[in-house]
Amino acid sequence: MTKLLLSLHVLAAIVAIGPVTVAASMFPATARRVLTGADPDPAGIAVLRNLHRICRVYAGLGILVPVFGLATASSLGVLTDAWLIVSMALTAVAAGILVFAILPGQVATLAADLAPVAPGTATGPSGSGEPGPAARSDGSGAGTDGSGAGTGGSGAGTGGSATGTGGSGAAAAVAAGRPGRSVAAVAARLGMVTGVFNLVWATVVVLMIIRPGSTTGA
C-alpha cells in the first residue's frame, strides 16, 4: 500500500504540477510578445487563454499531490518529521502564490481594463496609451486652465474627460479605482511571481529526495 500511495503521489506531482509550471512560465513572455503591440495578434491571444486554462485546470488537479503525500507519510509514520512539516508549509505557500497571485494576474492581463501600450508611447494620466489631456492640440481635452473647454469656447470638448475618447478600457479601470497599467509591467510582475512559485516547488522536490532516512543516505 505504501508503494502504491507513493507512486500515486509522484505521478500526481508530475501530471498536475508539471503543466502548471511550464504554462505559467510561458505566459509572461507570450503576453509581452502578443499584447504590447498596437494591434494584438488574435492567434496569440488564443494561446494566452489556453495557457491560462491549463494553469487553472491543473491547479485544481494539484490538490491530489498533498492528499496522496499525506497518505504516504501516514503510511510511513513520518507525519511529525521536521522535513515533512517544512515541505507541507512550502506546498501551502506555493498553492497560495498560484491561487492568489499567478491566476489573478493572468486574468488581469487578459482583461479589457489593461490597455496595451506600445513601447515608447507617452501615456496620459489614465495609463491608456493616449496622450494626456493637456497634450491634445485640438483643445478637445482639458486645457491648462483645467476648464476642459474647446478652443472655440463653445463648451466642453468631446474629450473633456480625464481619459479622453480613446481610453475606454483604462476609463473602466479608473472608475473601478484601479489606474490603468501596461501589459509589459503586469507581465514582468507575473514573471517574477512565477519564478518564486517554481523555486518553492523545486525546494519541495529536493526535500522529498534528501529527506532524513531516505535511500540517498542523507
Q: Are 12 and 208 in contact (CB under 8 A)?
A: no
Burial grade of 128 (CB within 10 A; 0-12, 13-18, 19 or more): buried
Q: Which of 50, 19, 44 is nearest to 31 (CA)?
A: 44
> Domain residue spans in the chain?
2-119+181-209
Rounded Cα–Cα distance for residues 108 and 130 (Å): 20
Taking the complete model, does pTM exceed 0.75, yes or no?
A: no
Helices (H), the chain: 2-12, 18-35, 42-61, 64-76, 82-97, 103-110, 168-175, 183-209
| pLDDT tens per residue across all 218 residues of the chain | 889 999 999 999 999 999 999 999 999 999 988 887 667 778 888 999 999 999 999 999 999 999 999 999 999 888 999 999 999 999 999 999 999 999 999 998 888 544 444 445 444 444 444 444 444 444 444 444 444 444 444 444 444 443 443 434 433 343 333 434 578 888 899 999 999 999 999 999 999 888 866 654 44
Q: Which of 53, 70, 50, 64 is nearest to 16 (CA)?
A: 64
The amino acid at 122: A
Cα 73-88-95 angle, rounded to 5 deg:
130
Rounded Cα–Cα distance for residues 131 and 91 (Å): 45
